[in-house]
Structure 1
Amino acid sequence: MRTLLLVTEIRMSDEGGTITEALSGGGEYICERLKFEPTMAALIETAAVQAVVCAAGLGTVSLLDPTVPRLLHSLSALPLDRQLAFLRQAASSLDDDPPPARLQAALARSTLHGPAAFTPAGPAHAPTSAPAYRMSPPGR
C-alpha cells in the first residue's frame, strides 16, 4: 500500500490530476508489478484511500466506511500541493514499525552509559550427544 501511495504521488507530480484519478486502478498496477494475486487489488486500493483520508484528518472507522467516497471527493477538490502532502503523510505513516520497546530501552541505556564492548556470542546449536547429566530413577 505504501508503494501505491508513493507511485501515486510521483504520477500526480508529473501528470497532475486528482487523488481520485491517480489512485483509480492503482491496486491493479501494484498487484501486477509486485506479483500479488489480482484479487488483492481492491483491498490495496481501498486501504490506500483510507490512509490518505486519515492523513488528512478525516479518519474513518473501517475500510468499508460509506463516507469514504465523499471524503475522497472533497480531498480531490483541494489544491495539488495539499493532495501531494496528504499522500506523503499517508505513506510516511506506513513506514517500518518502530523497534521493540526493549530494544529502544537498550539503545537509550547504551547511549547514557557510553558504548559497550560488543562480544559476539558463540554459534547457537543443538547438542549433538546426550546431556552430561544422568537422571536417577525416583526414590534413589
Structure 2
Amino acid sequence: MSIILVSFFSIDIMPIHNEYLLFNIHIVYSVIYVIFLDKLEPEKKRSLENISRALRYFAVNRNYGYIDRLANAYSIITLRQVVSEIMRDLRSEHDRGEPVYVPNEKEIEDLLTLAEKDMSIVKIVAARALAYPGE
C-alpha cells in the first residue's frame, strides 16, 4: 500500500488545477483510504478525518506548502516540526476570526502515534485534505 500511495501522491496530487483531476483523485484515494482506515479504531479514524478537515483550509486557499511538507515528511521528527507549524498557523487564523477547524491535542497525539508505526498515514491525511477541497 505504501508504494501505491507514494506513486499516487507524487504524480497525481501535486499539480491539482481542475475539478476533473480532483474527481479522479477522490476515486483513487477513496479506495486506499477505506482499505487502510477500516483497520483503525473509530476514535483514531475520526482524529485523522478531523486533521484532514483542518488541512483543507490551506487547500481551499491554494496554500499547499504545509500539505506537501506533511505528505513528504521523512521522519517522525520532521513530522512533529511540520505539525507544530501547521497548528501555530491554524491557531492564528482561528484567532483572526477565520472559519478554520483547529485539531485538539488528542487528535494530534493520535496522528503522531499512528505515524510512529507507519509514516504513510500522513500521506493519506494529506491526500484526503487535497481530494476534498471544500466543505
Q: What is the TM-score with the length of structure 1 in the denominator?
A: 0.34
Larger relative contact order (CA 8 Å, sep ≥ 6): 2
Q: What is the TM-score with the length of structure 2 in the denominator?
A: 0.35
Q: Whose Rg is larger?
A: 1
